[in-house]
């Protein structure tokens, strides 16, 4: 994820039930591949810049003070993309429910959270 800088600030306080990240996106960078979680709820709050939120419903531009939430298990894949010349800064908050899985509808990728670590494989189950 070239151009993305993620600081796991929740870990600094020993938070175990949810994570909090301060994330920066350089121009043309993306937050992640477009994905959906099976068990993890996610929330983003925009602090600086105007990222494009991409979901199954299509793109929408966000601005500072706006937020978006992604309920687990809906299958609605999402990510943020910086299509501007300015840096984007936002807070990213998600729970840490064991057994979470992520699907990536645009890529040959799937992920499973095992013992607190992500394991990635092709959609046919072959490991990377």
What is the rounded distance in angstroms from the CA atom of residue 34 to the CA atom of residue 16? 25
**Does a structural domain hold residue 67?**
yes
Q: pLDDT value at position 115?
A: 86
Look at the block and give the residue holding tokens 């429910």: 97
The neighbour count for residue 128, using CB atoms within 10 Å, is 9
Q: What CATH number corresponds to the domain at position 45?
A: 2.60.120.10
**Does a structural domain hold residue 107?**
no
Tens-digit pLDDT profile for residues 16-30: 899 999 999 999 999
Give the pLDDT mean for 93-105: 93
**Does a structural domain hold residue 15?**
yes
| Domain ranges, residue 30 | 4-98
Tokens describing residue 79 = 């990510």
How many domains is the chain built from? 1
Express as a percent the part of the chain with pLDDT over 90.
Answer: 88
pLDDT at 13 over 90: yes
Q: pLDDT value at position 116?
A: 80
**Does a structural domain hold residue 104?**
no
Please state, rounded to an integer, the average pLDDT across all residues of the chain: 95
């Amino acid at each position: 994820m070239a151009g993305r800088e993620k600081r796991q600030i929740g870990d600094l306080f020993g938070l175990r039930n949810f994570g909090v990240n301060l994330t920066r996106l350089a121009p043309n960078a993306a937050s992640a591949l477009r994905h959906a979680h099976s068990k993890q709820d996610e929330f983003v709050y925009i602090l600086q810049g105007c990222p494009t939120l991409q979901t199954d419903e299509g793109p929408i531009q966000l601005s500072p003070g706006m937020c978006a939430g992604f309920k687990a298990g809906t299958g609605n894949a999402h990510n943020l993309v910086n299509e501007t010349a300015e840096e984007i800064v936002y807070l990213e908050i998600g729970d840490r429910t064991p057994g979470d899985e992520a699907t990536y509808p645009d890529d040959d990728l799937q992920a499973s959270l095992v013992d607190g670590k992500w394991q990635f494989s092709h959609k046919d189950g072959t490991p990377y």
